[in-house]
Structure 1
Amino acid sequence: MNPFDSTDIAYAKQYKYNGIDDSICKKLFLAKYWDWCMRFIPMNVAPNVITLIGFIVESISFVLSLVLTNGLTKQLPCYGCVINALCLFFYQTLDNLDGRQARRTGMSSPLGQFFDHGCDAITGVSEVIKSAAVFNMGVEDVYFYYAFFTGITFVLTSYEEYVTHKFYLGKFNAPDEGLLILVILYLTIAAFPSIVPTIRPYFLFAYILGQIFTNLLIFIHVIQFCWKEKECRKRAFLAPIPMFISATIICLMKFLFGSTTNSVFFIMATEFILTYNSQTVIISYLVKRAPLRLIDPLTIMLWVASSISFVFKSTSFVQNGYYWMVLCAIVFSTMILTDVRVVIGFTKGLKIPAFHVIPKEEPRSDDSKNKIQPKQKKTSHSVSFRAH
């Protein structure tokens, strides 16, 4: 079933990427490194293929980390830390090259934007698991907070873009500096594994504090934006509601079930629920859906699937952790199903391929001379959303 109607596609055709990256590391050396890497990518390679390769590499290292640590119950070997570092750096590189390839080939589109975000949503969860394996966090309560605030930040980043229509990365941001720090820490731990118990508390404290501070900055930025753009206020107020409902259900499960939730599957299930909320926000942003559309049938289904655990709290199926495995499978399958439906919907609606490049047609000289340029209309920063 196509998730988009003709109005959705009409709005999707108007979409233009609006992103700014003020990263210090990018200005110092990353941009030059990415430019150098672009020399080795042929023009006939589709941007989504680059994204997919990075996603596959990151997924392989994620599965390897789970296997080598027996589900985060023991320390990751040194060679596993090195593999995680190399795969993460490779993924970060390709995550930047796909956008450059899209602009170079003229293939920038809502399809590419969503495909990139969909892969990031899944790899974001996998990277949380991988970092837990490297730092030997186990599945105790502190790891829950580490993963929970990561998921909240991921949703709020999409929320900020949905309200302000701009994706902004500051001078010190997670995709650039944050991932580089993780790569360095992974390699350091691989060389000196005995330092893990010493640096783990400091890492967790700095990370969680940084996530809270980032989320506060997002809300402050949204409030400042809505103060100037009154049309955005309703959207800004309603859009976070699904995230708050999901977060409430997750916290209730954690505190009511206690040690029963000390499972890697519980962590993954809760992370996937939050990242699915982020996906619905991005879809609504790309096709300008009203905020109430964020509460879709699949979101409600995930809330119900999570809440069923309260009814069967005392059963062995929940107490032994089997329920978290089922819930994780349900949420992950929902994300994959949504990703596939959206990609197919954009491919058909926008009439653009997902995994190959459309050759550019050079304009004829006589056409370029006789072509009349349309007058540009002045537009404000606020973009109207449909009322549903």
Structure 2
Amino acid sequence: MAGYEYVSPEQLAGFDKYKYSAVDTNPLSLYVMHPFWNTIVKVFPTWLAPNLITFSGFLLVVFNFLLMAYFDPDFYASAPGYKHVPDWVWIVVGVLNFIAYTLDGVDGKQARRTNSSTPLGELFDHGLDSWSCVYFVVTVYSIFGRGPSGVSVFVLYLLLWVVLFSFILSHWEKYNTGILFLPWGYDISQVTISFVYIVTAIVGVEAWYEPFLFNFLYRDLFTAMIIGCALCVTLPMSLLNFFSMDPSVAFRYFRVASKSILLYGWNSLCQHHSKAAEQPFSDLSFLIEETKFRLTRNGRKEHWPVIYRKKYCK
């Protein structure tokens, strides 16, 4: 891993022309968190590196994960009949989670304040965020845990994929529009998670056993919030921003992508039936057509080659 080349020389050369562009429209972030972060960043000395702030926040997230793993290694600590996590642990995790969230919001402001913003700094920040997606979900999972009143491990696995999907979707959106539209779900989830940790320390995990509404349990609310935020907020907003870029370009992108997927599926189907019948391709012909699109995206001309491949099998 030490000798692995994560960034190619061509990509490093492109960093010189890169310019960070982000849009944040979340009311919680605009009217509450950003004024708070603008006050906090003034406390930091100008010699403090933004990447150090980023890494410190990430270490707090990892520490929360390890602390909860120590007291709840098998996710049964919140189940009835098991030894629960001490109340002070929930308070520590809640406070550190909010501090880590604050540091993640302050690092960029510190970079602009000290005129030290770089593409590598953004890459470092978002690279650590991708790891944090796992630690956040697994740590908060201990609130409900496993057992009759908890969430199954399979559901946890699905929730991890939903969170990673939202993260990747935001960066796919930025790749195609040139602008990072900060997802609403991140700020809401971080404030909510920190609040729930503190509430758990006060009322105990037994409070989450009771139904939230009728027979709708809090564990169901937890699952519905994560999935609903991804499907009803993050996904529609990303598609809206993507299609607002240039409708003709967007529709062409989806048309080319759908054709490629269908042709790949057809080719796989042909291979499967040929192998199942133990017959080689007696009449196999390849038609390779390279179609090149010149698309203009935010003033940047890009070259998108698409290869169509058709196989005919008997």
Same fold per superposition (TM over 0.5)? yes
Aligned to 2:230: 211
The Cα of 1:384 is off from its aligned counterpart by: 3.0
CA distance in 1, matches of 2:164, 2:203: 30
Runs (5+) with no aligned partner, structure 2: 79-84, 211-217, 262-295, 306-314
After superposition, where does 1:1-388 map in structure 2 within 5 Å?
1=3, 2-75=5-78, 76-136=85-145, 137=150, 139-169=152-182, 173-193=184-204, 194-198=206-210, 199-213=218-232, 214-229=234-249, 233=253, 237=257, 381-385=298-302
Q: Which amino acid aligns with 2:187?
A: D
Change (3 A) 1:226 1:72: farther
Q: Structure 1 residues 222, 230: CA separation in 2 closer, same or farther (over 3 Å shift)? A: closer
Instruction: Note the alpha carbon deviations across 1:178-215, whole angstroms, 9 max, x for none.
Output: 21111111111221122212322222223212212222
d(CA) in 2 for partners of 1:229 and 1:124? Answer: 31
TM-score by length of 1: 0.58
Q: What is the distance in 1 between the residues matched to 2:245 and 2:256?
A: 10
Q: Structure 1 CA distance, aligned partners of 2:186 and 2:200?
A: 21
> What is the distance in 1 between the residues matched to 2:198 and 2:21?
34
In structure 2, the partner of 1:355 is none
CA distance in 1, matches of 2:124, 2:35: 25
What does the per-residue CA deviation read over 1:103-162, in whole Å, with 9 as the maximum and x for residues that have no partner? 111111111001001111111110010110123245433222222211211111111111
Between structures 1 and 2, the one with greater strand share: 2
Decide whether aligned partners of structure 1 residues 24 and 138 sit closer, same or farther in structure 2, where only a CA change above 3 A counts. Answer: same
Q: In the TM superposition, what is the alpha-carbon distance from 1:81 to its structure 2 partner? A: 1.8
1-side partners of 2:61 and 2:17: how far apart? 32
Q: What CA distance in whole angstroms lies between the structure 1 residues aligned with 2:29 and 2:236?
A: 24
- CA drift of 1:56 comes to 0.8
Shift in Å at residue 59 of structure 1?
A: 0.5
Residues of 2 paired with 1:81 and 1:236: CA distance?
49
The offset of 1:217, in angstroms, is 3.4
Count residues with an aligned counterpart: 249
Range moving further from structure 2, 62-71 or 210-219: 210-219
Conserved 8 A contact 2:61-2:132: yes
Q: Which amino acid aligns with 1:120?
A: D
CA distance in 1, matches of 2:39, 2:252: 40
Q: Which amino acid aligns with 1:37?
A: I
Q: Is the alpha carbon distance of 1:44 and 1:62 closer, same or farther for their aligned partners in structure 2, counting shifts above 3 Å?
A: same
Say if 1:142 and 1:3 are closer, same or farther in 2 by CA, change over 3 A.
Answer: closer
CA distance in 1, matches of 2:250, 2:131: 34
With 102-111 and 137-146 compared, the bigger mean Cα shift is at 137-146
Distance change (3 Å), C-alpha of 1:147 and 1:3? closer
Contact 1:73 1:138 in 2 (8 A): no
TM-score, L = length of structure 2: 0.71
Contact 1:163/1:235 (CA < 8 Å) preserved in 2? no
C-alpha displacement of 1:52: 0.7
Provide the C-alpha distance between the structure 1 equivalents of 2:203 and 2:250, rounded to a whole number of angstroms.
Answer: 54
Quick one: distance in 2 between partners of 1:210 and 1:5?
35
Q: Aligned partners of 1:162 and 1:92: how far apart in 2? A: 24
User: 1:152 is matched by which residue type in structure 2?
Assistant: F
Cα deviation 1:91-112 (Å, max 9, x = unaligned): 1110011100111111111110
Larger RCO, structures 1/2 (Cα 8 Å, 6+ apart): 1
The residue identity in structure 2 corresponding to 1:223 is: F
**Percent of aligned positions with the same letter in both sequences?**
23
Query: How many Å separate the matches in 2 of 1:156 and 1:179?
Result: 19
Structure 1: unaligned runs, 5 residues or longer: 242-378
3-state SS of 1:22 partner: coil
> What RMSD over aligned residues (CA atoms) do the two structures have, in Å?
2.8
Q: Residues 232 and 59 (structure 1 numbering): CA distance in 2 closer, same or farther, change over 3 Å?
A: farther
